[in-house]
Chain A
Amino acid sequence: MVDPVIPLHANLVPGRYGADGDTAVQIGTRRISSLWQIAGWSDFEHAAQPLLVACGLAGPGQYDETQQGPDVTAWRIAPDKILLEGPPDLTDFASDSLVVLDLSHARTVITLNGAEARTLLSQVVSVDVSAATLPVGSFIQTGLHGVGVLLQARSQNGIEIFVPTTWAQTILDILCQNAMPLGYEIMSPQTIHAAT
């Protein structure tokens, strides 16, 4: 099978934009290898356990903490829903107690890196994205420019934004507009690939 097109590639023109001075933020994207949602009902945790074990995860996890397995990253996005990045096809785990859904193409990741990454984020989301509230390894679901997104702190100065694919361009645009006073760089596709 061919590689899917990263939705923002056409409009991510590498270069330095906005205010002069140190580059405060680097904006880019990265490829999602696979993204699955698993969901269940009152017996969800029990039903999900075999799948989670197969993915190398200890359990369903917390609602604000990213779980990291050997090849799989997981976010518990609701009491009865977990989003998993990186697993193989999960169809075989589906049962009357657990449903699985391939969302690999439904999200686009926008990456923010740099000293002012959290400042930029604070301009577009109303939740607290300071390192104290969104520490490394945590995540939060919120609205950004009216679009539901998932934010995860990959590092002190590195944030990933999971955006529904069809909204990705508008989110990128609003981020770039907000980043003008900070000074930002669009990472080249080579850099993006190297990072993935």
Chain B
Amino acid sequence: MKRLETGGRIDREAPLSVSFDGTALSAFQGDTLSAAMLASGVTVVGRSFKYHRPRGVYAAGVEEPNALVHLRDGARHEPNVRATTTEVFDGLTCTSQNAWPNLRYDIGAVNNLFSRFLSAGFYYKTFIGPFRNSTRFWMMCETFIRKAAGMGRGTYLEDPDSYEKRHVHCDVLVIGGGAAGLTAALAAGRAGARVILVEQDSELGGAILSDPVGSDADNWRISVTKELGGMDNVQILTRTTAVGAYDSDTFVLIERVSDHLKAPENHQPRQRFWQVHAKRAVLASGAIERPLIFGGNDKPGVMLAHAARSYLNRYAVLVGDTIIVATNNDTAYQAAFDLGTAGANVTLLDARQSVDAALLAEAKGAGVTVKTGHGVLAAHGRGRVSAVEIAPIDAGGRATGPISRVPCDTLAISAGWTPSVHLWTQRHGKPGFDDASALFLAAPKETDALQTAGSVNAVETLEEVITQGFAQGAEAAKQAGADGAAGICPAAFAARDWPHDPDVIWGVFTRDGKTKGKAFVDLQHDVKVSDIDQAHQEGYVSVEHLKRYTTTGMATDQGKLSNMNALSRMAEQRGLRVPEVGTTTFRPPFIPTAIGALVGHEHGQHFRPTRLSPMHQWHVEHGAKLTQAGAWMRPWYYPQSGETLTAAYIREAAHAREHVGIIDVSTLGKIAVQGPDAAEFLNRIYVNGWKTLQVGRLRYGVMLREDGFVMDDGATARLGENDYFMTTTTANAAKVLGFAEHLLQTAWKDLRVHVTTVTDQWGTIAVAGPKARTLLSKVSDADLNREAVPNNHFVTATIADSPVRIHRMSYSGELAYEVYIPAGFATRVWERLIDAGTEFDLSPYGTEAMGALRIEKGHVAGPEIEGRTTLKDLGLEGFAASKKPFVGSVLRQRPVLDDPTRPTLVGLEIEGQVGAKAGSLLFPLQGETQGHGDGWVSSTTYSPALGKYIALGLLNNGKQRLGETIRVVNFVGNETLQAKVTSHHFFDPEGERQNG
């Protein structure tokens, strides 16, 4: 292997510092990592998945099964990176993987000695029995097996890079920047369509990039690319792979924005996820060269013929001095000719018995020796192929004559080409089988928005590739509505044809049909021909089962290299034709894709959107500790000089009972219910009646689901004749609004009612405590005395020059008001209350103290309204009207919901100085603590008013058990407490304080 002095598309003026396993490589700008490895004489680049066999570079593109490496260090470390698609950059470091202690002496290679015990499905058969308690033994083994499994090792460090998503809509998406894709984009672009052209390579050209620089092909590429580059309506995305095709003609592209750099620069993302919505798409994804199967076909030095040509013409790397080219088709001849011209001693073995005379003459002219009717039976060599066994073979690939050993340092192979129909099959299902070419091909209908062009259709000549691409591009543009003229198709350049031969061999075997040594159909997963045979012997007939049993074609390969040969072997074993065996399903993504690219910015802080109260900034500036409440960030507590949560909430709750406190309750769901039938709507959705509610008043309501369980509760105010202002719990705001919309648009279309969320319109402050009225009277112009504004009434007023509405209602059990303020004025009103509250010893309190106050009062909240509780369970049955239907009114009457032994809401006074944990189970004082117990703790707190820990719980037959002492068992924390069952109205059960 050597780097040539001339040729290639590399920049010899730009040498780069690149290392593999600590050894410097010869690398230039324009190289791939695999090219640099080959140029530097690196023959073994990795160890195989299962048997840890030494492996070398096999391909030059995304299909590479062997050259997988650890790339970069630290937080940017990435495992399983294909060296063949990694552009080198200055400072690139990479290391081998799946080898210990090093690539050369890998202890895992011992697996190769036990390969007969590690055949297909060995783990299904091995990890059972044969002794008693074998399961425990195998579970212990699993620890070690898991450590040995897989290839590269990931990093646990946080990814320092960003990933971006972008949504684009275009008329025509062209996938593939080879000859067919270029002409498709050209035609569509000329017609005036909005075109996106996607190419996974760093340059446009596809297979043309493997032609010599300055060749007719290269000049053609430059000409077409230049014209495309001048079109404003054509967006060219290189380093971008179409990885998925989905319903509604949506495609996913992954653009490797910065992967060719040491690190992203100038705030650019590492990768960009494109979601493309295309009216039409042209798949010009080409074809992947197919391996030939024989013994030792995985030795380093064995590679695909077209890859050898790519390394020569694109990277100026001659992969060997003595090269055997083994093929069954015409296309490999060009590789042989180019390698011979570059100075290699090339012998070509053609499995076919006869070859076109003109081709043979051309070979002779290029100095290439051709042996027809011959094949490679086995490759030999340690660390690198050093010789091959060749033999005359028959039309079935079996040796028919004497075997001879021929020395060589490289074996370039080609068993034909496999069209890359992956994206088409992702979108439309299994491909069809074309008898003429013996290939699985896409089978688009004329009306499909996704059409195919070029080698993916297995067309035989370059002229067809180009004209088909052009025609599909023009048609796609027309179908997408572009009415311009596509003009004349660029003329084709000279290129080798791909004449089809449906009877070509796929492997070379001994006289008795066996391979000579290990012969791999899937190099990535170490699946041998003998594994396919074994699966057949064990009764596997479904190709999908075969795939999973042997693992052939799974994971990142997705059938790129392995599929056809595995199917061919299975077909032979079953005595069927390949199409009768069928093919497996190709799934997205087409290439391995970083999870970061799928996630984009939606992680960490932006994993989901965050909702903030209009007073949020004040809370932050005043040291509030925040907590998540659904999407909201809410003040949890306001610590004073290092206070703990517990100390702070106890202080805040006690303070509100003694003086006055304010809390930001803007998170309450708020819904405007408007229309002449608004009262009837409320009457139907709530269990209680609404038709008598007068303007200026508000009422507590409970609503059920249709199955009779409680869904939500809240207060609704009547603002005007046709205007109501409904509040919901914070958690259920969206659910209630959606439920109401659903009913109005389906079951209740007779009602002239609109519901609109006004949660964002109003900031809300709850003012609670004995001095609440005094404080609000000071800051507002409203008359708030008891007679003017009794409980469940509201008034409009002005505070700090801001219009507000003051509702008299209490969630804490104290004399309390809710002040509704247009959001833009909310902070101003809050600050006014804080300022004016100084003389009343006002203190803000957070959600933890709010919880303590409501538990003391015995109000239900989310932990009690959790979807399994009924009105009766919660002691709310008295609210349900008996003379009107409402949502849930029928199904709530089911006997099972009326069972008196159901868990019902009770209070629990905890004995001792430790509080109960929510979720703890309730058991009688005597007996076993097994099963689900008699109920559970729903909410828990320390009660400053009572001076003890209290809780709310749902207890079987609870109302009959007041006064009983029970056990509160926290199985998770291994803790058992005792509690006295009480009424859930711990504090001021008569309501004297809130009605005061």
A residues with CB within 8 A of B: 1-7, 10-11, 18-21, 37, 39, 41, 80-81, 94, 96, 99, 101-107, 119, 122-128, 130, 132-133, 145-147, 164-167, 169-171, 173-174, 177-178, 180-181, 183
Contacting residues, chain A, for B666 (C-beta < 8 A): 166
Write out the residue numbers on chain A whose beta carbons fall within 8 Å of the beta carbon of B674.
Answer: 39, 99, 101
Cα A81 to Cα B674 in complex, Å, equals: 13
Interface, chain B (partner A; CB < 8 A): 162, 164-169, 194, 266-269, 275, 277, 601-602, 605-606, 608-614, 616-617, 632, 666, 672, 674-676, 720, 722-723, 752, 754, 756-762, 800-803, 822-825, 827-828
**Out of B162, B606, B828, which one reaches A174, CB within 8 Å?**
B606
Which A residues are CB-close (under 8 A) to B676?
Answer: 96
* Given A94-B722, A96-B752, A123-B166, A180 contacting B267 (CB threshold 8 A): yes
* Other A-B pairs, 17, CB within 8 Å; known A96-B722, A124-B165: A1-B802, A2-B800, A5-B824, A11-B617, A37-B756, A80-B754, A99-B723, A101-B672, A101-B674, A104-B824, A105-B761, A105-B824, A166-B613, A166-B614, A167-B609, A174-B601, A177-B162
Interchain nearest-CB distance for B805 vs A (Å):
12
Q: Check A5 against B611 for contact (C-beta < 8 Å).
A: no
On whether the beta carbons of A5 and B825 are closer than 8 Å, the reply is: yes
- Give the docked Cα–Cα distance between A69 and B171 (Å): 35
Contact, CB under 8 Å: B758 / A126: no
Could you say which of A21, A99, A128 has the most chain B C-beta atoms within 10 Å of its C-beta? Answer: A99
- Least CB distance from B22 to A in Å reads 34
Contact count A vs B, C-beta below 8 Å: 147
How many Å lie between the Cα of A94 and that of B675 in the bound state?
9
A154 to B528, CA, bound (A): 64
26 residue pairs from A and B, CB less than 8 Å apart: A5-B614, A5-B824, A5-B828, A6-B824, A7-B823, A19-B267, A37-B756, A41-B675, A96-B752, A101-B758, A102-B761, A103-B761, A105-B614, A105-B822, A105-B824, A123-B166, A125-B167, A130-B169, A164-B757, A167-B609, A167-B760, A169-B612, A170-B609, A177-B162, A177-B606, A181-B162
A7 proximity list for chain B (CB < 8 A)? 614, 823-824
Chain B residues whose CB sits within 8 angstroms of the CB of A39 once the complex forms: 674, 754, 756
Q: Are B612 and A145 in contact (CB under 8 A)?
A: no
Measured CB to CB, the closest approach of chain B to A168, in angstroms, equals 8
In order of increasing CB-CB distance, the 10 nearest A-B pairs are A4-B824, A99-B674, A128-B169, A106-B761, A105-B823, A106-B760, A165-B760, A105-B822, A164-B760, A19-B267
A180 CB contacts on chain B under 8 angstroms: 162, 267
Q: Establish whether residues B760 and A105, one from each chain, have CB atoms under 8 Å apart when the complex forms.
A: yes
Contacts of B754 in A (CB 8 A): 39, 80-81, 99
**Is the pair B802, A2 in contact by a Cβ cutoff of 8 Å?**
yes
Q: Which residues of A contact B164 (CB under 8 A)?
A: 123, 178, 181
Per DSSP, chain B at the interface is mixed
Give CA–CA (A147, B756) in the complex, Å.
15
The residue that B601 contacts in the complex, of A126, A130, A177, with Cβ under 8 A, is A177
The answer to whether A146 and B269 have CB atoms under 8 Å apart is: no
State whether A169 and B722 are in contact (beta carbons under 8 Å apart), knowing that A96-B676, A126-B275 are contacts in the complex: no
> Is A19's CB under 8 angstroms from B266's CB?
yes
Closest residue of B by beta carbon distance from A94: B722
- The smallest beta-carbon distance between A68 and chain B, in angstroms, is 24
Within 8 Å by CB of B759, from A102, A130, A132, A166, lies: A166
- On whether the beta carbons of A1 and B801 are closer than 8 Å, the reply is yes
Q: Tell me the complex Cα distance, A18–B828, Å.
A: 34
CA distance A178 to B166 in the complex (A): 10
Given A123-B165, A130-B169, A145-B606, A167 contacting B672 (CB threshold 8 A)? no
* B-side contacts of A99, CB under 8 Å: 674-675, 722-723, 754
Which residues of B have CB within 8 Å of A21?
A: 266
A22: min CB distance to chain B, Å: 12
Among B268, B613, B822, the residue within 8 A (CB) of A4 is B822
By a CB distance below 8 angstroms, the chain A residues around B823 are 4, 7, 105-106, 165-166
Complex formed: what's the CA distance from A6 to B824 in Å? Answer: 7
Contacts of B277 in A (CB 8 A): 128
Give which listed residue, A41, A96, A119, A170, contacts B612 with CB less than 8 A: A170
- Could you tell me the distance between the alpha carbons of A146 and B676 in the complex, rounded to whole angstroms? 33
